[in-house]
Amino acid sequence: MLPWKSIIEINPESKRTIYLQISDFIIKEINIGHLSAGQKLPSSRTLADILKINRKTAIMAFDELLAQGWIDVIPNKGAFVKNNIPTFRPQDLGRKMNIPKIIKKDPISSLVTVNDGIPDYRLSLIDKLYKQAGSLSKNAIGKNLFGGGSPAGEESLRYVLCNYLHDSRAISTTPSNIMVTRGSQMALYLAFSILLKNGGKVAVGELNYQTANDTITTLGGKLVKIQLNDQGLDIDHLEATLQKEKIAAIYITPHHQYPTTITMPVTHRLRLLNLASKYDFTIIEDDYDYDYHYSRSPILPIASIDQESRVVYIGSFSKLFAPAVRLGYMVASQTFINNCIPHRLHIDRRGDPLLEKSLSMLIEDNELPRLLKKNISIYKRRRDLLASLLEKELGNQVRFKLPEGGMAIWVKFLNIDIDTLKDKLHQNGVIMNTDVYTAFNSHSRLGFASLNEKEIGIVIELLTKVIHQIVQ
Ligand SMILES: Cc1ncc(COP(=O)(O)O)c(C=O)c1O
């Protein structure tokens, strides 16, 4: 008999259950030829005695081997290595993958990261959202959600969103006009899949959210660039373009134009709607950070005044929770939503019903307005602090306009190459993780929302030090 006690070394600390550890060892012995076809294995009682384990555990190990096809069990005779066992010799890769236990921190990247405008998830409701999901998963309502789900999104969330959109931004809609998506990016992808089915052109700002541009071109669309001015999209230039070129759609972020942060005035919004009607195109209104407006209430979306279903309205919860919380939505005509469904089924069958239901419960409990009220005043303070420090410490080196809302300041760096700036900042412990718009005179977005006041102080201190080194 093989020396089972020394062959099977049970590790009580292992996350793998004991019976699976035993079957693993036996499989290994078969594979390396120590156990040959037809060879008898010890009985479950003997194995249990040798290994000092419960007999049930030994039986489970044999059941596992039987289920996997490694052994035959002959009644009253015992267990035998299968005669025609599949011969499987794992390739010796010569080395084992080293899975690091902890992701090592780059020592010089540990101070602070400047992004182009994401929320401070230390202040968000993530814990509440997942706690809700956790408790929901334990009860019957939650359990029901595991098997089901609709490609248009969890029904109760679509109902709750109707009230939420009505109360927060005067959009009147119905659950059949809503698709819940995994973040607004999925909504953008689906909307352009429909609009660009036969190719076509999409008007975008000359500076624009790069991911949207990439989505459009990947789906076969052609970008038509529209100039920007100090009021955002230049509507005169758009109109002149429309007289020459047919477009399928325009993609806009009117609340805070990405990347410049400029808010589109109401008069421009009305003109845009009229142009959409006259030249027959769709408006994709990406309202990614609607909630954050500091000088007054947010300006109502174009979707709220759209009488002709010209607007596909796209929203995201990633600015309320965190970028990794993949919850967004699209509001459009019922036909448009129905057309999106087959496309969604190709990439994602049914979203995350448990998380969507949990979100609907948070909205029903009025948690979002409470959170927003608190965060708006915190983010406003952070915006003002970053602006005043930029002015005070770097007034000669940068130009910017205080944004009315959003999560970032659009900064023009004078006489400074931003890539050099990024490198030097990194050496000093600040990662500047933002896009650079070199074609637009060295501009970049400096996100303030995710940094607390101390962190903003560190960023400005190091930014000042590094810029002075560069311009010396
Ligand atoms: C202009 C714009 N649209 C949409 C999004 C959000 O995308 P998602 O909801 O997929 O996270 C972002 C995120 O940064 C953005 O900047």
Residue 403: CATH number of its domain? 3.90.1150.10
So what's the pLDDT on residue 109?
A: 46
CA of 80 to the centre of ligand 1 (A): 59
Do 213 and 258 reside in the same domain of the chain? yes
CA of 329 to the centre of ligand 1 (A): 12
For a ligand 1 pocket test, name from 286, 292, 316, 326 the mutation site with the most ligand atoms within 8 angstroms of its C-beta.
316
pLDDT exceeds 90 at position 9:
no
Average pLDDT (191-219) is 96
Do 400 and 344 reside in the same domain of the chain? no
CA distance 408 to 446: 5
- Output the ligand 1 site: residues, CB below 6 A: 183-185, 209, 253, 258, 286, 288, 316, 318, 323, 328
CA of 1 to the centre of ligand 1 (A): 65
More reliable by pLDDT, 208 or 109: 208
- Beta strand pairing call for 328-331 and 311-316: antiparallel
- Which atom of ligand 1 has the smallest separation from the CA of 117? 14
Handedness of CA 249, 255, 257, 263 (dihedral sign): positive
CA distance 216 to 210: 10
Closest Cα to residue 81, out of 72, 93, 94?
72
CA of 288 to the centre of ligand 1 (A): 6
Do 172 and 145 reside in the same domain of the chain? yes
So what's the pLDDT on residue 161?
A: 96
pLDDT exceeds 80 at position 22:
yes
Confidence class for position 5, pLDDT limits 50, 70, 90: confident
Average pLDDT (54-78) is 89
- Which atom of ligand 1 has the smallest separation from the CA of 316? 9
pLDDT exceeds 90 at position 436:
no
CA of 465 to the centre of ligand 1 (A): 32
pLDDT exceeds 80 at position 93:
no
pLDDT exceeds 80 at position 300:
yes
Domain end residue (candidates: 300, 330, 365): 365
Q: Name the residue at shortest CA distance from atom 5 of ligand 1.
A: 288
Do 436 and 299 reside in the same domain of the chain? no
Residue 89 lies in a domain: no
Say what angle helices 334-347 and 183-195 make with each other, to 10 degrees: 110
Across the chain, mean pLDDT equals 89
Residue 386 lies in a domain: yes
CA of 435 to the centre of ligand 1 (A): 14
Among 163-167, 374-378, 412-416, which stretch is predicted with the lowest mean pLDDT? 412-416
- Which atom of ligand 1 has the smallest separation from the CA of 328? 9
Residue 97 lies in a domain: no
So what's the pLDDT on residue 28?
A: 81
More reliable by pLDDT, 84 or 30: 30
Q: Name the residue at shortest CA distance from atom 2 of ligand 1.
A: 288
Return the CATH number at 168: 3.40.640.10
- Which atom of ligand 1 has the smallest separation from the CA of 323? 11
So what's the pLDDT on residue 108?
A: 46
Phi and psi torsions of 353, nearest 5°: -55, -35
Average pLDDT (212-236) is 96
Do 418 and 319 reside in the same domain of the chain? no
Residue type, 388: S
Confidence class for position 440, pLDDT limits 50, 70, 90: low
Do 115 and 159 reside in the same domain of the chain? no
More reliable by pLDDT, 409 or 82: 409
Q: How many domains does the chain have?
A: 3
Q: Name the residue at shortest CA distance from atom 3 of ligand 1.
A: 288
Tokens 């959210």 belong to which residue?
209
CA of 185 to the centre of ligand 1 (A): 6
* Tokens describing residue 105: 């921190």
CA of 75 to the centre of ligand 1 (A): 63
Q: Name the residue at shortest CA distance from atom 4 of ligand 1.
A: 288
Do 107 and 170 reside in the same domain of the chain? no
Residue 196 lies in a domain: yes
Percent of the chain with pLDDT over 90: 62
So what's the pLDDT on residue 107?
A: 47
Residue 188 lies in a domain: yes
So what's the pLDDT on residue 57?
A: 93
Tell me the H-state helices in 395-441. 418-427
pLDDT exceeds 80 at position 423:
yes
* Structural domain range at position 323: 139-365
Average pLDDT (180-189) is 97
Return the CATH number at 76: 1.10.10.10
| DSSP classification of residue 450 | T
- Which atom of ligand 1 has the smallest separation from the CA of 182? 10
CA distances from 57 to 20, 294, 317, 392 (A): 9, 63, 47, 71
So what's the pLDDT on residue 317?
A: 94
Tell me the H-state helices in 248-312. 266-279
Do 304 and 386 reside in the same domain of the chain? no
- Which atom of ligand 1 has the smallest separation from the CA of 317? 9
So what's the pLDDT on residue 37?
A: 85
Among 45-59, 187-201, 216-230, 321-335, which stretch is predicted with the lowest mean pLDDT? 45-59
Residue 443 lies in a domain: yes
So what's the pLDDT on residue 31?
A: 76
Domain end residue (candidates: 301, 335, 365): 365
For a ligand 1 pocket test, name from 186, 252, 288, 410 the mutation site with the most ligand atoms within 8 angstroms of its C-beta.
288
Do 273 and 184 reside in the same domain of the chain? yes
Do 43 and 166 reside in the same domain of the chain? no
* Tokens describing residue 59: 């039986």
Q: Name the residue at shortest CA distance from atom 13 of ligand 1.
A: 288
- Beta strand pairing call for 232-233 and 249-252: unpaired
Residue 230 lies in a domain: yes
Do 178 and 112 reside in the same domain of the chain? no
Q: Would you say 235 and 271 are in contact if contact means Cβ atoms under 8 Å apart?
A: yes
CA of 315 to the centre of ligand 1 (A): 9
Do 429 and 283 reside in the same domain of the chain? no
Residue 209 lies in a domain: yes
Q: Would you say 280 and 252 are in contact if contact means Cβ atoms under 8 Å apart?
A: no
Among 41-45, 231-235, 330-334, 405-409, which stretch is predicted with the lowest mean pLDDT? 41-45
- Give the H or E element holding residue 228: strand 228-229
